[in-house]
Every structure is written in structure tokens, then in C-alpha cells.
Structure 1
Amino acid sequence: MNKLTFIRKSIIGAACLVIIAAGSGIAGHQTTYAATTTSTTAQPSQAASVSSLQKKAEIISIAKSLMGKVKYKFGVNNPSRLIFDCSSFTKYVFAKKGITLKWGSSAQSKQGKYVAKKNLQKGDLVFLSVAKPGKINHVGIYIGDGKFIHNTNGGSANGVIISNLSSYSSRYITARRVD
């Protein structure tokens, strides 16, 4: 069972328990009112959590769908021709789900909330140093299982690839969670 299915089933189960608990000892028409009121107040935060997980999964799906279609070019943000640098790629992908990112890996590293490497979740932005040691100059999207997707021009690659974050362990700088 995947995480999203588990969360949905947990929400439904919790709502059922609230309805049963609210109904004990209360008259029939009041039971309906109490259950509806309780259910309505409990739902928004849980729905937001499910919605956020779904949005992150969709962001990863969009990024993966661009593999083989996007070209890397330093300093370029050309959505009509699908030519991006690393940060204009993440900017483009997140914008597809209504999340505004600035252009530039350093600028993006100041958006959202800090995330420790051990707490990375799918959809988090990971920031690396690929040119000047210790300076943020590359960004990708964490996709889980120690991997991230990014737009790069390195070796034989020119475009969107999936890499192991462990291959960049000496160059890893920080991560951010944006919603």
C-alpha cells in the first residue's frame, strides 16, 4: 500500500470513529448534526496533507515526463523551446502546479523551509555545488530512494536526468521544501 492510499484510508477510518463516538448517547437528528460538524472540522487539515503529497507526486511526474525533451543551456529560461538551466527547469516544473520559484539556484535556496538531509521528502529541492566548492550553483528535485531529478550538462548528459544523491555527497549543500 502506498503512502497516499494509507493516508486516505486513515482519514476515512478516523472520520468513521468520530461519527460513531459522536452518535453514542445523542438523539438521531442530533447525531447527524454532530457527525457532520465533527467531520467537517477534522477534514481540511487532513485533506491539505493529502493534497500536498499529491501535488509533490505530480511535480515529480511532470519532471520525469520532460526527460529526453529538455535541453540544458547555462543562463537560459526558454519554456517555448524547452531549453533551461537547472533553476529555470525547477521553476518551470513547479509553476505547472501553481508554485512560484525565482530563477537562480541561489535565489531558490532561500525560498520555502529548510529541510535536513535526513528528512528529505519527495518534491523537496536539493542544492549542490558543482562548480565552485561550497557555493550553491545547482538545483534538483528529490524523488525519493536517495535520488533526484535535475537538468544538467555533464559528461554525456545534456538534459533532464535522474542521479543518486550519494554521488553528490561531497557537493550537497542544503534542501528546501516549498508548497
Structure 2
Amino acid sequence: MKKSFILIGTIISSLLASQIAFASNYTVQKGDTLWGISKKYNTTVETLKQMNHLTSNLIFPGQILKVNEKEDTYVVKAGDTLSKIAKQFNMTVNVLLKMNPEITNPNFIKVGQTIRLSESVPAPVQKQATSSQKKVNKQSTTKPETVSSSNQKVSKHSPVSTVSTTPSENSTKAENSSLADRVIQIGEKYLGAKYLYGASPSRTDAFDCSSFTMRVFSEAGISLPRSSAAQSQVGTPVSLNQLQKGDIVFFDTDFNGTINHVGIYAGNDQILNVSTSKGVSYVSIDSSYWKERLVKAVRVIN
């Protein structure tokens, strides 16, 4: 009887894991962007918009998005391991190995290699390698696509490892830079709008500091909470001497230990914000007033 219960439990667990592995929905979290979600699920922003009938990049926490039509395969990227891929799709390494018999060494996979996530996908035809070829592959320092299960490159000091990750890193930096430029462009179209304490983020003729940042980033597809204090808790904290365009900066204007003002770093020591006297405008972070009141910065574009 005990064995029967164990067997039934195992079957139920396997069925649940299978359902989770191929789940096609994602619930939007604070700080999420369509771009970030697209990278997580190995798709594109345009594909997500088409699948969810979105007319803009605006998404909200709690919103349920369809993230894939049918996720049967995964293409290995730099830094991937079988363990990492299995965890991403709520599977086990053994299940992946069973569906990918061409993987003879679970400790090594290649960038660009297609991993099957479903039994319905036919296994690729593999070329037989000679023993001499295997030996060369083991010792070669000119094979940039090999990664190990511990997320370590085969040769930690191989200059080729840098080459293998550079295109991906450059692509990410370029996309982040493009999104940051977009954020500033959105903010600039409201230059001159008046200040109104407690203004609704839905208004475009008047803002307070946090309704402005909330509005601007929402138009760029990034969800932020309403208050400046709450906004300071999302994203990734960054050093004040390493600010990048699109970072959100926070101030304690009363010197009482409480964040009460927020703006968007626009590069070249300029902050796009909403002040009581000038409304939506630029100010210099190097001015004595703002410099001594700057207390924190976070990055939500990553």
C-alpha cells in the first residue's frame, strides 16, 4: 500500500511538472518590461504584442501575458547550463537528457545548440566524431561556444571566451541604450507641463514628481509604483557615480531621511523632473541644491 501511494505521488508530481514546464502565461511583476519578458522567454517584443493584442508597450503589475504559442525547443545562449535551462522550464536535467540523447556529456553544451523541450520534436541528426576530433575539441582554446554545467567556461582565461559573449553583451547594451533614449524622448514631450501635487498618472497636462516618472516609464513599457519612496524600492540600486541615462534618481529635499522627490537621469549631469516652480523641466545634478540632496539611484532598464 505504501508503495502504491509513493507511485501515485510520483505520477501526480510528474504531471504537474509537465504542465508547469509548458505553461504559456506570465503574470507581470513590478519593474517588468516587455523587452525583459521577451528575453526571459526567448521571444521578441513584437511577438508578445501580437500574441496579447497590445497596441503599445504599456503593461501593468498583475497583468497576465501569453508568452509562447508552443515552447518545444530552446536555443542555448552564452552562460547556459543544462541545470539552468532545466530550472528555467521547471524540468530536471535527467528529463532534458532523455529528450536530447545526442547530448553525451551533460557537463557540456554549445552556444547555438537546440535543446528539445518536448518529445514531439524529432531528435537532430548528429555527425559521428572520431576519437582524434574529440581530443582536439577537449584541448582546443579556439572553440568559443562550449560552456560547462557549473556555468564556468572550459578555459577560464581563454581570450576566446570573451569573444563568445561580446556580441550578446553588445546587443543587450545597445537595446538598453535605445530604451533609455526612448524614455527621455517620452519625458521631453511633456516639457513645460505644470506641477500639481497628487496629479493622476493618467493626466498629461500636469504632474507631480512621481506621477511624471510613473507616466513616462509606463509609456516605455515599464511599470512603476505611484510614490517616489515606493519607486526607490524597485529595480537595481546603482552607485551615484555610475549613473546611466534612464536611471531613476531620488532626493531627500528636507534632509529628514525620507525620499520625497524623484527624477530621471538624462545624461550629461542633467535630470528630467517636475519642480513646483517650473513644472516638467531639466535641472543639473551638479548644482549645489540637488547634489547635496541626492540620496539614491536605481536602474530599471536592464
TM-score, normalised relative to structure 2: 0.43
Aligned to 2:229: 106
Question: Structure 1 169/81 Cα, relative in aligned 2: closer, same or farther at 3 Å?
Answer: closer
Task: State how 1:26-65 maps to structure 2 within 5 Å.
Answer: 43-65=167-189
Q: How does 1:80-119 map to 2 (within 5 A)?
A: 80-119=203-242
Structure (1/2) with the larger strand percentage: 1
CA distance in structure 2 between the partners assigned to 1:153 and 1:104 by the alignment: 16
Residue 123 (str. 1) matches residue 246 (str. 2): yes
Runs of 4+ in 1 over 6 A off after TM superposition: none
- Conserved? CA contact 2:201–2:215, under 8 Å: no
| 1:174 aligned partner | 296
Aligned to 1:79: 202
Q: Cα deviations across residues 56-87 of structure 1 (Å, max 9, x unaligned)?
A: 0110111112102x221112214245322101
1:15-38 residue CA offsets vs partner (Å, 9 max, x unmatched): xxxxxxxxxxxxxxxxxxxxxxxx
Secondary structure in structure 1 of the residue aligned to 2:241: helix
Whose relative contact order is higher, 1 or 2, with alpha carbons under 8 Å and at least 6 apart?
A: 1
Query: Which residue identity lines up with residue 151 of structure 1 in the other structure?
Result: V
For the residue of structure 2 that corresponds to 1:127, the secondary structure is strand
1:178 partner amino acid = V
Q: Specify whether residues 81 and 174 from structure 1 end up closer, same or farther in structure 2 by C-alpha distance, changes over 3 A only.
A: closer
Aligned amino acid, residue 184 of structure 2: I
- SS across alignment from 2:211: helix
The superposition leaves residues 70-105 of structure 1 with CA deviations (integer Å, 9 ceiling, x where unpaired) of 221112214245322101100100111100111100
Change (3 A) 1:65 1:107: same
Cross-structure match for 1:162: 282
Aligned mates of 1:103, 1:78 — CA distance in 2? 8
Q: Which has the higher helix share?
A: 1
Alignment root-mean-square deviation, CA:
2.2
Question: What is the distance in 2 between the residues matched to 1:78 and 1:53?
Answer: 25
Segments of 5+ residues of structure 1 without an aligned counterpart are 1-39
Q: What is aligned with 2:34?
A: none
SS at match of 1:117: coil
Deviation at 1:42, TM superposition (A): 6.7
Identity of aligned residues (%): 35
Cα deviation, residue 46, structure 1: 3.0
**Equivalences, count:** 138
Q: 1:42 and 1:170, CA in 2 relative to 1: closer, same or farther beyond 3 A?
A: closer
Q: Say whether the 8 Å CA contact 1:134–1:173 is kept in structure 2.
A: no
Amino acid at match of 2:272: I
Q: Give the 3 Å change call, closer, same or farther, for CA 48–119 of structure 1 in structure 2.
A: same
With 126-135 and 169-178 compared, the bigger mean Cα shift is at 126-135
CA deviation string 1:118-167 (max 9, x = no partner): 1000110000012353310000000111110101213xx2x101001122
**Take 1:41 and 1:135, find their aligned partners in 2: how far apart are those partners?**
41
- The one-letter code of the counterpart of 1:107 is A
